[in-house]
């Protein structure tokens, strides 16, 4: 089945939050790299977990780069401005599940990038791209909001195949360009019959205005910037649902996702019971 899932981010090292950890498998470096990925100053946070050597025993160059960053041998935008060092990061999109805060019966989801390798970027170039074999199952039309000065866009939801865990993982992107909105609005899709297609996009800044009415006179407004996963293209030839992923595999992998969520709820419920009886 089609399972392509990759990120390709290049730019200046903006900041970082890394630490050494002792694990059952030995020492590791874990934390976030924040990379500036375009000339407009868009930044992306990319988590890393890296050990000194691979399971094969071969040294892990990424671990060495992360260690250099931690030791202050690498310049960041925060500390050095235009003199910051340039890097390229490859990895994948990652969806993780956890119990919602304050609710032991609801599973929340976090959609993020997962860094695998970090290398020098001698050409000092920007790149901001994710690419995914995407099973689209839902489209939600979000109307423009003149008061907040936000444009109409679509929420495009669905799954990718998490081949490592043999289950589906949920993702949600946005369609903001007129051509993208027109394309996705006409797709005959449903959770039972997904539209399966090679999809790519960027992390883009999105601005909204929050206005507060003032009883004393003129209203006040604040501008907020967030980043969104925005689709910029899909392949003209979609995959064949039933062939590139069989209906049986789709049902099995979707069932494994639901079983994973249920196991998290059970663990949380069991822990509540243990606390109540003093374990």
CATH number at residue 108: 2.40.50.140
257 part of a folded domain: yes
164 part of a folded domain: yes
236 part of a folded domain: yes
pLDDT in tens, 210-263: 777 777 777 777 788 889 999 999 999 999 998 999 999 999 999 999 999 999
pLDDT at residue 278 tops 60: no
279 part of a folded domain: no
Q: What is the DSSP string of the chain?
A: ----EEEEEEEEEEEEEEEEEEETTEEEEEEEEEEE-STT--EEEEEEEE-SB-TTS-B-HHHHHHHHHHTT-S--HHHHGGG--EEEEEEEEEEEEEEPTT-TT-EEEEEEEEEEEEEE-TT---EEEEEEEEEEEEEEEE--BTTTTB--EEEEEEEEEETTTTEEEEEEEEE-SHHHHHHHHT----SSS-EEEEEEEEEEEEEEEEEEEETTEEEEEEEEEEEEEEEEEE-SS---BTTTB-HHHHHHHHHHHHHHHHHHHHHHHHHHHHHHTT-
pLDDT at residue 277 tops 60: no
Distance CA(33)–CA(68), nearest Å, equals 13
Q: What is the mean pLDDT of the chain?
A: 91
100 part of a folded domain: yes
163 part of a folded domain: yes
Mean pLDDT, range 153-173, rounded to an integer: 96
What pTM was computed for the model? 0.88
**Domain count along the chain:** 1
pLDDT at 103: 62
Distance CA(96)–CA(64), nearest Å, equals 27
Give the pairing of strands 153-162 and 86-99. Answer: unpaired
pLDDT at 212: 75
pLDDT at 276: 35
Mean pLDDT, range 129-158, rounded to an integer: 94
pLDDT at 134: 97
pLDDT at residue 73 tops 60: yes
Q: Which domain holds residue 138?
A: 5-274
pLDDT at residue 275 tops 60: no
220 part of a folded domain: yes
pLDDT in tens, 26-59: 899 999 999 999 999 999 999 999 999 998 889 9
223 part of a folded domain: yes
């Amino acid at each position: 089945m089609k399972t392509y899932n990759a990120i390709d981010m290049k730019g200046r090292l903006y900041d970082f939050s890394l630490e050494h950890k002792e694990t059952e498998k030995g020492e590791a470096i874990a934390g976030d790299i924040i990379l500036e990925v375009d000339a407009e100053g868009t930044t992306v946070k990319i988590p890393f977990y890296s050990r000194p050597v691979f399971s094969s025993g071969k040294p892990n160059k990424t671990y060495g780069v992360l260690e250099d960053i931690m030791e202050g041998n690498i310049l960041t935008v925060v500390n050095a401005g235009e003199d910051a060092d340039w890097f390229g990061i490859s990895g994948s999109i990652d969806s993780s599940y956890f119990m919602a805060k304050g609710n032991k019966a609801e599973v929340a989801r976090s959609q993020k990038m997962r860094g695998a390798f970090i290398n020098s970027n001698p050409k000092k170039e920007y790149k901001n791209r994710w690419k995914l074999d995407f099973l689209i199952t839902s489209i939600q039309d979000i109307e423009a909001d003149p008061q907040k000065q936000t444009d109409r866009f679509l929420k495009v939801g669905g799954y990718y195949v998490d081949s490592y865990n043999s289950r589906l993982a949920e993702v949600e992107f946005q369609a903001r360009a007129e051509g993208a909105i027109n394309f996705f609005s006409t797709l005959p899709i449903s959770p039972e019959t997904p539209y399966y297609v090679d999809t790519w996009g960027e992390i883009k800044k999105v601005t909204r205005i929050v206005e507060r009415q003032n009883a004393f006179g003129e209203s006040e407004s604040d501008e907020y910037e967030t980043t969104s996963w925005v689709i910029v293209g899909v392949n003209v030839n979609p995959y064949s649902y039933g062939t590139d992923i069989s209906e049986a595999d789709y049902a099995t992998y979707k069932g494994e996702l639901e079983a994973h969520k249920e196991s998290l709820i059970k663990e949380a419920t069991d822990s509540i019971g243990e606390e109540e009886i003093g374990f």
